[in-house]
Chain A
């Protein structure tokens, strides 16, 4: 039981980081129809930006805020300068994937070139721990879980109750009709990339916090978890991404406790492949006609 609870604890933290990341990823896909595989690279760029500030004495939480802002701006630029022009030209989805892989190389190894190849960590205190029957979480981990809940609630509120959120959903559902309603979809798309980019930066920093030490390639495998969570819930479905994140996060950590830890990602991979083969629209998406 202790082992199980401990792994549930880890699972909650992983699920939290994953939820923040997956929601941002899926929003980008929903509104622009691009699987932005460079998402992991932007995450680690944000993590490193916070690290640079942190290593100069800035509190990590301030570094987090800066990373969020920087990744928001960077993501907007990524779409405006790279993805949107290719799409305007009528590039096929497969071309967009290859473009996003190219951007991954540029961003990830650009970070590595600037920051070096060694692993780094944040200078921060994990805070007091709470233990209950094997289930141990530090204060920072609680904060991460809390942030994730905040993000999920915030996303829900945004999409359900705000004018912008509904415009985002409308743009995702039928861009031309949204324009016929007078919605300036260009601005909606910019706002979507800014918000999801911010989430990407946030995810990057909390990922780094949770990982302890990290380097420029740390998010490579994590991207697969994001993809698994996204496709499990349904690409483009924000609530699906949250559901997928919880399932994948917990499944990964709980299984790691019972089978060799190095295989913990296998469950996520298999889930992803099964979803692609059986139900590409995901658990929450409409079944294909």
Chain B
């Protein structure tokens, strides 16, 4: 095996692995299916080329292209990464919107073909289908690019770059930010309702993946010194997807393995197939493609998780325990108020690295202990428990809210006020509009008319994720756990102020966000213990029973440090004893300042825990009062029996 062969193998392996890592980050971790991925690598390659090429060059015939500034290494590579990232921005219109997954994929695929077509046909741009050649290699002036030493050095740099990319994507993925990406992948609607800005997350992933792909293109052309549209058709994207799927989507080592097996592996295997003059020249390449197709389909059938599936992240934490001696109420509340005002600022300054500060980690009296466990921000004055419910201020309001679709009024002019620290029940027969109203309060459904006011401000136009960041959190009626995250991760994903939950924070590394993470994990562990699920902390949420998943959802909502919690049928499928326990927890949290609005059918729960209870029927509010008062009202009884 001569060294030239090995160099070739290693460089291609490094470049393909880099590309696959970028794709794995986008597709496997964040769930962004970018069928135009190859465009980013192409853009990077071209950028590096036009930055490195001199103003004019000829390769038999005159080459025409943009740029040609003959810039020295490493500018072409940097340019490649930058352009790769920038090219991603226009793609967000296809990926950020609520377009069906397969439609978006088709759009991206088509874009890749379109751009290839343009590059092929518009000669002044990038020399058309002849492509660019004679691209100067890095530091070609100082060293002899033909020498073995240079080639090995280039190989080493390529492999090092690949290793750097691996460390980069691993750092991003194994952070609270990475967890938010995976949550978005598993269930984007729920992630949205927990405060994740989906558009921003997806755009960032496109840009990061694009930059990685661009860099891989830049490195590749530095080696092969040519680049033409034939090198990046849509078939190349399919190969990369095959590599990531076979290696294991969501596992970065799997991406590298896939790169070695598929693009590189296929090239190498065919080298060893004996050539024979009787075989048509196209046969082996054609069969290669057939084999790739077979691999894609069989892997998706037999082992969709790939050879190296996504690892389970086990997070061990000791439950947070309240201090034995209760501290006086006043200073605690002031401290809470301070923490709360800090929390009112959308992104507070991160605590200095190394300091384990958690705004919700206050310990002390019973209500604050409950607050610590549930993470309640209570910006109220001391003595909430002593104020009569009717005197507390209104935190959430619906004003003449209407929801209409297809000519049907699901909610017909409802006005509702929810006061701080109350546990309000919302009951009514099927079709009364309860869930629709709740969705409009949370922002997951737009209003057709009317206003939603939160803490005195009009939030009608505010999207769900921004309401969530202000402390208005909802749960869902149907199963909405993040299936491929563990129970502990589900809880941690909701924590609103983890300094590792941003790209900058992730890149800063574990030392930066470890404090916040450990504090959050301790809170989560305490919550798990309280609800009796500590044994399942490291089980995948998708594997639990219905009632258990329901509890995970409630705990997760509590981890989001809600000021107002909107629960949509939280007790459905839950054992009665457990339902009572949950109700008790909610009452304790309400005493600490949490406000709860709960849609429920189990009217016994209303009896025990909720006051007031609002009865709805046919899209309007019928009556409001305690459950026993409502039971005595004939119109409520009629609504339930008559509908």
Contact = CB atoms under 8 A, between A and B. Distances in A.
Contacts of B295: 102
Given A93-B101, A102-B293, A266-B117, A113 B111 contact: no
Interface string A68-96: 00000000000000100110000111111
A97 B110 contact: no
* B interface majority secondary structure: helix
Given A116-B282, A269-B113, A96 B102 contact: yes
Interface string A95-130: 111110111111011101100110000000000000
B343 interface: no
A92 B304 CA distance: 12
A2 interface: no
B121 interface: yes
Interface stretch (B284-292, B326-334, B532-540): B284-292
A103 B286 contact: no
Given A103-B293, A266-B114, A95 B300 contact: yes
Interface centre among B35, B103, B121 (most CB of A within 10 A): B103
A99 B295 CA distance: 10
B229 to A, nearest CB: 12
Contacts of A231: 103
B300 A269 contact: no
B119 to A, nearest CB: 11
B290 A109 contact: yes
12 contacts: A96-B102, A99-B296, A101-B238, A102-B293, A110-B290, A116-B280, A117-B280, A221-B113, A263-B121, A266-B118, A276-B107, A277-B107
Given A96-B102, A117-B281, A105 B238 contact: yes
A103 B297 CA distance: 7
B293 A280 contact: no
For chain A, give the interface size range. 35 or more
B300 A273 contact: no
Given A102-B293, A102-B296, A277-B97, A97 B283 contact: no
A222 to B, nearest CB: 11
Contact of A280 (B100, B114, B120, B300): B100
B369 interface: no
Nearest to A109: B289
A180 interface: no
Shortest Cβ-Cβ A-B pairs, 9 listed? A105-B293, A102-B296, A117-B282, A109-B289, A113-B286, A106-B293, A93-B102, A262-B121, A94-B101
A289 B446 CA distance: 12
A118 to B, nearest CB: 8
For chain B, give the interface size range. 35 or more
A35 interface: yes
Contacts of B290: 105-106, 109-110, 113
Contacts of B110: 224, 227, 269, 272-273
A193 interface: no
Contacts of B406: 289
B297 A82 contact: yes
Contacts of A277: 93-94, 97, 107
Nearest to B105: A97
A289 B448 CA distance: 12
B294 interface: yes
Contacts of A85: 301
Nearest to B111: A273
Contacts of B371: none
A58 B514 CA distance: 75
A168 B102 CA distance: 23
A48 interface: no
Given A96-B102, A276-B104, A280-B100, A102 B294 contact: yes
A149 to B, nearest CB: 28
Interface in B95-134: 97, 99-107, 110-111, 113-114, 117-118, 120-121
Interface string B457-481: 0000000000000000000000000
B184 interface: no
B105 A94 contact: yes
A260 interface: yes
Contact of A86 (B33, B106, B114, B301): B301
Interface of A: 35, 37, 82, 85-86, 91-99, 101-106, 108-110, 112-113, 116-117, 216, 220-221, 224, 227, 231, 235, 260, 262-263, 265-266, 269-270, 272-273, 276-277, 280, 289
B482 to A, nearest CB: 16
A98 B300 contact: yes
Given A94-B105, A95-B300, A106 B294 contact: yes
Contacts of A227: 106, 110
Given A105-B292, A263-B121, A266-B117, A276 B102 contact: no
B193 to A, nearest CB: 20
Given A102-B293, A109-B290, A116-B280, A86 B300 contact: yes
Interface string B235-253: 1001001100100000000
A266 B121 CA distance: 11
* A interface majority secondary structure: helix
B405 interface: yes
Contacts of B293: 101-106, 109
Contacts of A270: 114
B287 A98 contact: no
Interface in B263-308: 280-283, 286-290, 292-297, 300-301, 304
B33 A94 contact: yes
Contacts of B106: 35, 37, 97, 227, 276
B533 to A, nearest CB: 27
Given A113-B282, A276-B106, A277-B93, 20 more contacts: A37-B106, A93-B101, A94-B33, A94-B101, A94-B105, A98-B245, A99-B297, A102-B292, A102-B294, A102-B297, A102-B300, A109-B293, A227-B110, A262-B117, A265-B114, A265-B117, A266-B118, A269-B110, A272-B107, A280-B100
Contact of A112 (B113, B121, B245, B286): B286
A86 B282 CA distance: 32
A106 B626 CA distance: 67
Given A109-B286, A265-B117, A289-B405, A276 B103 contact: yes
Interface string B35-65: 1000000000000000000000000000000
Given A109-B293, A265-B117, A276-B94, A98 B99 contact: no
Contact of B296 (A105, A224, A260): A105
A269 B234 CA distance: 14
B465 to A, nearest CB: 21
A260 B120 CA distance: 13
Nearest to B27: A94
Given A94-B102, A112-B282, A273 B296 contact: no
A268 to B, nearest CB: 9
B282 A280 contact: no
Nearest to B233: A220
B564 to A, nearest CB: 28
A257 B296 CA distance: 41
Contacts of B111: 269, 273
Nearest to A35: B102
Contacts of A94: 33, 101-102, 105
A109 B35 CA distance: 20
A280 B99 contact: yes
Contacts of A98: 241, 245, 296, 300
A91 B245 CA distance: 15
A98 B251 CA distance: 19
A269 B114 contact: yes
A86 B35 CA distance: 21
B99 A109 contact: no
